[in-house]
A and B are shown apart, each in its own frame.
Chain A
Amino acid sequence: MLEALFQYEFLQNAFIVGIFIGLIAPLLGVFIVVRRLSLIADALSHVTLAGIAASLLVQKTFVMGATFNPIYLGMAFSVAGSLFIEKLRTVYKHYQELAIPIILSGGIGLSVIFISLADGFNTDLFSYLFGSVSAVSRTDVWTISIIFFIVFAVIFLLYKEWFILSFDEEYAQASGVKVRVLHFVFIVLVALVIAASMRIVGILLVSSLMTLPVAASIRIAKGFKQALWLSVLFGELAVIVGLFLSYYLNLAPGGTIVLLAVCILIGAIVWRKWKRG
């Protein structure tokens, strides 16, 4: 494997991107899960799918479009969707979770229309849905590393404020924390990370990379910092081992990674049971 890693650029790309998203997806995921927004990742990934499908349509209809990287339109859709969710959450103050099914179904509807206009499924779309080891390009690597550094820097700088906001929104507001700005930054980052992760794990499985490692870590973590570290550890473990396995066994990486994450989750649950006797 190691010599293959040195030999093939596509493998290098996949591993670099994998290590990046294995870190930021669970890291953001901790904040998503504790704020009970787990389904937001699902809603946004389906909006991202609409962006991807639109790109495939563009690639097909315009000659110039062939070189157009779908990640950009995917990102644009995802961010737009996140802003829309925010809007809906203020409109439906007492039913904030309503925003999620609205966006989710809107995203699927749009995707289906774009896909049918682009003449149905092709292998490209398939790789976006379920992830792919071979499809990651150097441009993807650059785009995703930029997202990685932005997300990492923001979490590092706004850690305190996000912690308060996640723990107790009213208290955050009362202590003068700019709740709306912070939340806005948060959801835009979520949108970016989803667009970044879909190359490897695939749109349908992105949200699980943000939630499964976190679900495992909060079973055993003492405190928030520990939950963050454990989530990242579990996320990286699932991604790296998953990529190896999928390369050797010729499996879709998304499914392999997610199944590993499920195994880790079961391990965490059992470990906690066993520890408590």
Chain B
Amino acid sequence: MDDILRIEDVSFRYDDEDVLQHIHFRVPKGAFVGLVGPNGSGKSTLLKCILRLLKPQTGRIFLFGTPIEQFKDWHKIGFVSQKANSFNTGFPATVYEVVASGLAGKLGLFRRLKKSDEKAVYEAIDAVGMSPFIHRNIGELSGGQQQRVFIARAIVSQPEFLILDEPTVGVDVHHVQSFYDMLERLNKQHHMTLLLVTHDIGTITEKVTHVACLNKHLHFHGSVQQFAQLKTEDLASFYGHHLHLLAHDHA
């Protein structure tokens, strides 16, 4: 049971649109998987199926070896949603309160935050560089700052498996870089397993261990070395247009 996530023959359709077709997919323990694909290719849909927010019509999904219908340990999983900042911006909650809410699953019903939990909250906020804003209301922050708060909320419970759906949308270059460095650190030092949806293929190939290319079907799934050997034509056919994969060299 070395797979954190196993997806077997999952298909999903919205009312009349097939979005995922016969997906087989696995995330081994300790992996850092980059999931890429063009807009509308079903990446967010796949993540929602994993998180039980949507129910696939066919197929089975296992988390930590358990079918998700029976899976109970949701606190082992952290999640940053693609549209994290679609919340009610008038909501009276401080950065601290929002990040602390990431501990709810781990604490369980009826429990309150202990000293050690409070420390974890401060550390998570510090890790995304939001300490100066800790007592600000979340609605009074910029979009990128809010996104960093949601990242802190996802990592505060030190999940074993962290799922991120384009977490760096709206985050500036400097903080994107330090965020990717942080992900690498979490993966290498804390042995956190990561599944990251991104359009930033160039950057992630330096950090990830595996890459998956989704466009309704899973077109490619393998190690980053295998991915690097893919021909530009393969990628272009998958994306449906030409892609300058190596254009990030100057970085």
Contact = CB atoms under 8 A, between A and B. Distances in A.
Chain A interface mostly helix, strand, loop or mixed?
helix
22 contacts: A34-B91, A36-B88, A160-B107, A160-B112, A163-B101, A164-B101, A167-B87, A171-B84, A171-B153, A173-B52, A174-B53, A174-B81, A175-B74, A175-B75, A175-B77, A176-B74, A176-B75, A221-B92, A222-B135, A224-B91, A225-B97, A226-B92
A168 to B, nearest CB: 5
Nearest to A157: B110
B110 A170 contact: no
Contacts, number: 84
Interface string B74-92: 1101010100100110111
Contacts of A222: 92, 94, 135-137
Sorting the interface of chain A by its residue count into under 10, 10 to 19, 20 to 34 or 35 or more gives: 20 to 34
A251 interface: no
Contact of B93 (A36, A171, A224): A224
A45 B158 CA distance: 45
Closest 7 CB pairs of A and B: A176-B74, A223-B94, A175-B105, A227-B92, A174-B51, A160-B104, A224-B93
Nearest to A219: B92
Sorting the interface of chain B by its residue count into under 10, 10 to 19, 20 to 34 or 35 or more gives: 20 to 34
A175 B96 contact: no
A159 B140 CA distance: 23
Interface string A193-237: 000000000000000000000000110011111110000000000
Interface of B: 51-53, 72, 74-75, 77, 79, 81, 84, 87-88, 90-94, 96-98, 101-102, 104-105, 107, 109-112, 135-137, 153
Given A161-B109, A164-B104, A177-B104, A223 B90 contact: no
B92 A224 contact: yes
B92 A34 contact: yes
A118 B84 CA distance: 53
Contact of A170 (B53, B91, B112): B53
A34 B53 CA distance: 22
Contacts of B96: 223
Contacts of A173: 51-53
Contacts of A175: 74-75, 77, 79, 102, 104-105
Interface string A148-171: 000000000110110110111011
Given A158-B110, A161-B109, A222-B136, 13 more contacts: A160-B112, A168-B84, A170-B53, A170-B81, A171-B84, A171-B153, A174-B74, A175-B74, A175-B105, A176-B74, A176-B75, A222-B135, A222-B137
A195 B75 CA distance: 38
Contacts of A224: 91-94, 97
